[in-house]
A = this chain, B = another copy of it.
Amino acid sequence: MYRIGELAKQCDVKADTLRFYEKHGLLAPSTRSESGYRLYNQDDVARLRFILRAKAVGFTLNEITELLSIELDKANWACADVKGMVDNKLEQVQIKIAELTQFANSLQHLSNACCGGPDSAEHCSILEALESEDKQLHARNETAHKAQHVKHTKTVKAALT
């Protein structure tokens, strides 16, 4: 059993935030001490961890509430509802992973191409690299696209797939 401050420290949030989550129905301590102190058990900790992970991953508190709300009256949800909802979130997450992966690729290519030395970055522009990205994507995707007189940098050519 953890008191609010302990849990806060353990999960690196403010006690305020925990009270905030309680007020908004995301996380209530499973018990209170005689004196009224909030007491959180392991399940509560796990629930908080879930909330924090979901948040880190880009879900809003509302969306998280939605996911968690099923718990509140399980009996009134059909299994199909639950599955639908989960699949929905799953799709969102997968889209995000794809976006992030693309982004990571660009950054990686750029990092590889960048000499990293003490010289001026004049010929090592992140922006040009990233700007060209779209064009290159288009070039790959639209097989019959107009020549767009794209301006390349030496670096860029090396930096991007």
Chain A residues packing against B (C-beta within 8 Å): 42-43, 45-47, 49-50, 53-54, 56-58, 67-68, 70-71, 74-87, 89-90, 93-94, 96-97, 99-104, 107-108, 110-111, 114-122, 124-128, 130-135, 148
Contact = CB atoms under 8 A, between A and B. Distances in A.
26 contacts: A43-B131, A45-B134, A46-B131, A46-B132, A49-B134, A50-B133, A57-B103, A68-B126, A74-B125, A75-B120, A76-B120, A77-B121, A79-B114, A79-B115, A79-B117, A79-B124, A81-B121, A82-B114, A85-B126, A90-B107, A90-B111, A93-B100, A93-B103, A93-B107, A97-B97, A97-B104
Nearest to A128: B71
Interface SS of A by simple majority? helix
Nearest to A137: B49
B114 A78 contact: no
A42 B49 CA distance: 44
Contacts of A77: 120-121
A130 B90 contact: no
